[in-house]
Structures are given as C-alpha cells and as structure tokens.
Amino acid sequence: MKVWFSFALFVILMVLFKEYIATGIYQATSSNVFKLWYLIFSLLTLGIGVITLAILFPKGINGMTFTQNFVIALMVSVILCEIILGLFFLVDEIVFIAQKYFSGSASSKGNDVKDYDRRRFIKTVGLVVSSIPFASFLYGITKGKYDFKVIENKLSFPDLPRCCCCCMLSTHNILSSIHLPKFGVHLYISMKILFMKYQS
C-alpha cells in the first residue's frame, strides 16, 4: 500500500512540476500553442516511461528491447533537462519575490515592463541552456550509442621489465561486459567492424 501511495504521490508531483515548467515556457515564448504541445509531449514521455518501467520492473531490465530502452531514456532525459530549466525558473522567482518584498517604492508601469523583460530573458536563457543537454541525450540514445571509437594511449614506466616492452593492453574485460545480443544486431555489427579496424 505504501508503494502505491508513494508512486501516486510521485506522479502527482511530476505532473505539477511539468505544469510549472510549461507555464514558464509560456512566459518565455508567449505562445499557448507551444506550451500545449510541450505539455502534451512531456506528459506522454512521463506516462509511457512510467508504464514501461512498471511492466519491466518485475522482470528486470535484462530483456529490454530497443523501444523500451528508448522510451525510458527519453523520459529520464526530459526530466533531467526540466530540472535544469526549473533551476532557472526558480532563480527568476526568487529574484522577483525579493524585489517585490524589499522594494519600498510602489510599482509603476515602467518597472512592470522591465520586470517582464528580465523574467522573459532569464526563462529564454534557461530554455537555450537546457536544450543543449537534451540534444546531447537525444543523440546519445539514438545514433551516438553506435559511434564507437578506438583511442590509443602510449604509457611509459621506467621500472617496467624488458620482457613487457611494447606490450599492448586492451579493455577486453570492459567490452565483454556490454552483453552485445541484448542491445540489438546493429551494436553487434558495429563492434565487429570496430575490432576489424583495430586489428588491421
């Protein structure tokens, strides 16, 4: 019972948080259409991701398909970027409340316009900054996970025995723990091509 209560509380808090983010986006863009589409996208990623996690949780994550992996990674990416965006919105709210509380002068139309421009600027900066990691996450969970590279580093040890001179160390143990079949055929082919290039 406590688990379901905590789960329901988490979902409610996330929905309220996403509504707060969507309101801040409207203040930055002055577009109800953009706010609506963003809110639909954000709630869909949360709902589908939570349902996917609820289905997979009893079975574990070993048998995840590409679609399930993508859905969960997209949900986490959106939440992380919304947290970054929320920090900008929170700073803006704190500055706004502090100015209203400590300001002794009465608010005028000119001051209201300046406050609106400042708040819109801060929220716009938050949108731009949070879009950078979101684009990186999106690249990483789609194309970037197949973008393997071989990095060669030369190491020198003054007290190394002569028999170990010009030896090559590889990260075979790290690569063998990736569990290739569970990540799809494309990853397996990419790793094979990588080893072929490395051995040549």
Average pLDDT value for the chain? 76
Q: Given this model, what pLDDT does residue 55 score?
A: 80
Closest CA to 25 of 95, 94, 91, 82: 82
| High-pLDDT (> 90) share of the chain, % | 14
User: pLDDT per residue over 129-140, tens digit each?
Assistant: 999 999 888 888
The Cα–Cα gap between 15 and 142 comes to 26
Q: Is 183 exposed, middle or buried (0-12, 13-18, 19+ CB in 10 A)?
A: middle
Residue range 173-192: average pLDDT?
A: 51
pLDDT at 196 over 60: no
Please report which helix (H) or strand (E) contains residue 54, including its range.
Answer: helix 32-56
Distances (CA, A) of 66 to 10, 72, 194: 26, 10, 21
Enter the pTM of the model.
Answer: 0.69
pLDDT at 44 over 90: yes
Q: Look up residue 52 and give its DSSP letter.
A: H
pLDDT at 194 over 70: no
The Cα–Cα gap between 147 and 190 comes to 8
Q: Given this model, what pLDDT does residue 174 score?
A: 47
